[in-house]
Amino acid sequence: MRVADVFLFRLFLVYSTGLHAPLKGVETWALQCIQTSNVDGICMFRFRTWYAIHNSFDTALQTLIEDAMRDARVRPPDVALLFVSEALAHRADDAREAVWRALRPQALVGATSSGVIAEAYEFEHEPSLVLMVGWMPGVQVRPFALRPPDWRALLHDATEFCTRTHLSQRTRAVLLLADPFTTPVEHVLSAFNMFMPGIPVIGGVVSITAGGNRLFEGATTHKAGLVGLTLSGNLDVDVVVSTGCRPVSPIFKVTGARDNVILSLNHQPPFDHIQALVDRMGNVDRETLSRGGLLIGRVVGSYRDHDDLAQTGEFLIRNILGVDASTGAIAIGDDIHRGALVQFFLHDADAAADDLAMRLAPQQLYEPPAGVWLFPCNGRGTNLYGHPNGDVQIVRGIVGDVPLAGMMCAGEIGPLGGQNFLHGHTACVALLRPAETSKAQAYETETVATPTACLL
């Protein structure tokens, strides 16, 4: 039976029994499906977002549920994302339970966070709840939670990893929310890169305290590990990772390295290059340096030549952790190898705003997304811009007033140069749309070079 026929049958039941009020809006929904014939499997592909702010958890939760039920009672959503601010985190399980029972989504994931995001607002300190729900015809939404007794065994077993995370040849994207104190996040991302190369993973590290983070997955609230969503089928997901940094040095070649220590750049101690760089800085850069410190970026991905690298190169930004005064070596927040190409960066509000706007600009060539997920660093927001709602204003200024939700992160997850990484100082954005007909048909027959376990 066609989807439109199902809706008409439901309408017949509604009107024949006189139950008009509880299902207000179904008729319009059914007529829209008839008009589009649902040929592309994208009828009513949509998201909705609600938020509630109140010092009283019970009042905030009641407001959120009542608003959501006015729309979601027509049909249970395929997916629900729930974000609970730190001020209300002590009642996080109550929030998850209420949403799960009231809306009965096919999949529910979420987390507590130091700050939560909805529509045009970044709630950095306010006691707030954010709920986004989505209806995604033609998309298989599979939630998962991982907290294995032996992470190493899971992350080296392709069959087990792909089974636990529901990866398949039709997977289009993965949402990941992780507790940093109990999850080897970078090793998890390496497993995704190895077993399902090219599939974007987006999300973030929850950002309260050790033992204080909460993760939601269906009927369960977790205190450790990670939760996620695997999205497969007729879906397009564009992911934007904005580092928000500007280069302040030439590109150097690492000529000596050990673990996370750079021993030499272009055969000279790294600190010599840093000292020369600082000596050349003007007052503005010196002030920026004093506020945010110097960062280092490692080239990821491929490039044709040095000019191509300078113009389009992607850099994985990392902190400089310390300097060995006796040798001039520097320690950074990542392992580094000899032959890598690196550059020094500064992070400021203008660079962050310009980079995010530039990376989002191509979205104006397409129809607005049905929904947006936003995961910025918790060091951005007012800390970076000097005013609230900095990143979300840029996003909505470019893609429009579309449903949007997310959270502030203590580490952001997103792809760069074809691989998924854990970032810092970034804003990671996922823009979700129903797949076009030609793409949807291609998705049904495509194959990818991944382990057999992921091709189910």
- The domain limits of the chain are 3-36, 46-238+378-384+392-455, 245-352
Query: Could you tell me the pTM of the whole model?
Result: 0.86
Whether the per-residue pLDDT at 383 is higher than 50: the answer is yes
Separation CA 429–CA 237 (nearest Å): 10
Mean pLDDT in the chain?
A: 86
Q: For residues 31 and 47, is the Cβ–Cβ distance under 8 A? A: no
How many percent of the chain have pLDDT more than 90?
A: 73
User: Tens digit of pLDDT for each residue in 58-82?
Assistant: 998 999 999 888 877 778 899 999 9
**Closest alpha carbon to 131 in 50, 223, 252:** 50
**Closest alpha carbon to 239 in 23, 414, 382:** 414
pLDDT of residue 312: 56
User: Tens digit of pLDDT for each residue in 226-269?
Assistant: 999 999 999 999 999 998 899 999 999 999 999 999 999 999 99
Neighbours of 297 (CB within 10 A): 21
CA end-to-end span of the chain, whole Å? 27
Structure tokens belonging to residue 196: 């399902």
Q: For residues 208 and 235, is the Cβ–Cβ distance under 8 A? A: no
Specify the higher pLDDT residue, 437 or 252: 252
User: Tens digit of pLDDT for each residue in 346-377?
Assistant: 989 999 999 999 999 999 999 999 999 999 99
pLDDT band at 453 (very low <50, low <70, confident <90, very high): low
User: Tens digit of pLDDT for each residue in 270-305?
Assistant: 999 999 999 999 998 998 888 878 999 999 976 655
Q: For residues 115 and 376, is the Cβ–Cβ distance under 8 A? A: no
Rama region for 244: left / alpha / beta (φ>0; ψ in -120 to 50; rest):
left
Specify the higher pLDDT residue, 2 or 139: 139
pLDDT of residue 305: 56
What letter represents residue 180's amino acid?
P
Whether the per-residue pLDDT at 444 is higher than 70: the answer is no
pLDDT of residue 210: 86
Q: For residues 63 and 116, is the Cβ–Cβ distance under 8 A? A: no
Q: Which of 86-95, 336-345, 438-447 has the lowest mean pLDDT?
A: 438-447
Whether the per-residue pLDDT at 33 is higher than 70: the answer is no
| Long-range contacts, stretch 223-226, CB < 8 angstroms, 24+ apart | 223/179, 224/147, 224/179, 224/181, 224/182, 224/183, 225/145, 225/146, 225/147, 225/178, 225/179, 225/182, 225/183, 226/145, 226/146, 226/147, 226/176, 226/177, 226/178, 226/179, 226/183, 226/185, 226/188
Q: For residues 427 and 175, is the Cβ–Cβ distance under 8 A? A: no
Tell me the HSE value of 24 on the side-chain side, using a 13 A CA sphere.
5
pLDDT band at 34 (very low <50, low <70, confident <90, very high): very low
pLDDT of residue 437: 56
**Closest alpha carbon to 54 in 108, 123, 119, 132:** 123
Give phi and psi for 312, each to the nearest 5. Answer: -125, 5
Separation CA 246–CA 203 (nearest Å): 24
Based on the number of CB atoms within 10 Å of its own CB, is 29 exposed (0-12), middle (13-18) or buried (19 or more)? middle
SS3 sequence of the chain = CCHHHHHHHHHHHHHHHCCCHHHCCHHHHHHHHHHHCCCCCCCCCEEEEEEEECCCHHHHHHHHHHHHHHHHCCCCCCEEEEEEEHHHHHHHHHHHHHHHHHHCCCEEEEEEECCEEECCEEECCCCEEEEEEEECCCEEEEEEEECCCCHHHHHCCHHHHHHHHCCCCCEEEEEEEECCCCCCHHHHHHHHHHHCCCCCEEEEECCCCCCCCCEEECCEEECCCEEEEEEEECEEEEEEEECCEEECCCCEEEEEEECCEEEEECCECHHHHHHHHHHHCCHHHHHHHHHHCCEEEEEECCCCCHHHHHHHCEEEEEEEEEECCCCCCEEECCCCCCCCEEEEEEECHHHHHHHHHHHHHHHHHCCCCCEEEEEEECCCHHHHHCCCCHHHHHHHHHHCCCCEEEECECCEEEEECCEEEEECCCEEEEEEEECCHHHHHHHHHCCCCCCHHHHC
pLDDT of residue 22: 32
